[in-house]
A and B are shown apart, each in its own frame.
Chain A
């Protein structure tokens, strides 16, 4: 597609359940990023995939969070045993690989844990 696609756009889940968030980047963009935006807050880095290199997972807040990128394209962010503090908008972005390139962001997934 022409842009970064994220699904679902909204997700309400019960505390303790697992959720999967999907990101489909722009074709040809070899770098993919996940960020989290809590209400009224800035963007918190979660994880970064760059080509075939090992991902930078330094931003994942706990071992309940994981992400994978299959075939260098679609990525899935999984949150296990969700907690209320996981409620946020999860943003995916992609870019051409290399430093200094601007990101194209998706519309985000709004996750609400009740």
Chain B
């Protein structure tokens, strides 16, 4: 069985602070993919990033960066110099070999960025 755990239910930060959203996953598959999605107040989920299990390189995209560590089964997401527009619910998700492209989602982390 696959499982994604996002232990942080809600995080509040002040604008310009850095913030890290944690994601821990469980899978028996050797080939799998990890994802992050953003759900702003408007409700529509937006794809942010995909990472496969064979690529442990960290990735940076503007103010966003992702740290994938197989040794700890974690795929953490850091926002540098947070902005109010970053306020949203962020979901981590996993797809393994056996389920086609079916995603297992974590319960999400609500990020609130205040002025």
Contacts and interface: CB of A to CB of B under 8 A. Distances in A.
Partners in one complex: yes
Given A42-B108, A43-B91, A102-B50, A107 B102 contact: no
B45 A97 contact: no
Interface of B: 31, 33, 35, 37, 42-47, 50, 52, 91, 93, 95, 97, 99-108
A59 B50 CA distance: 23
Contacts of B91: 42-43
Contacts of A103: 37, 45, 47, 103
Interface string A95-114: 10111111111111000000
Interface of A: 31, 33, 35, 41-43, 45, 48, 50, 56, 89, 91, 93, 95, 97-108
**B44, B45, B46, most chain A CB atoms within 10 A:** B45
B33 A50 contact: no
A102 B97 CA distance: 15
A82 to B, nearest CB: 21
Contact of A99 (B33, B45, B107): B33
A1 to B, nearest CB: 14
Contacts of B108: 42
B55 to A, nearest CB: 11
Nearest to A108: B43
B101 A42 contact: no
Contacts of B43: 89, 107-108
B28 to A, nearest CB: 15
Contacts of A97: 101
A106 B44 contact: yes
Contact of A100 (B33, B42, B44, B107): B33
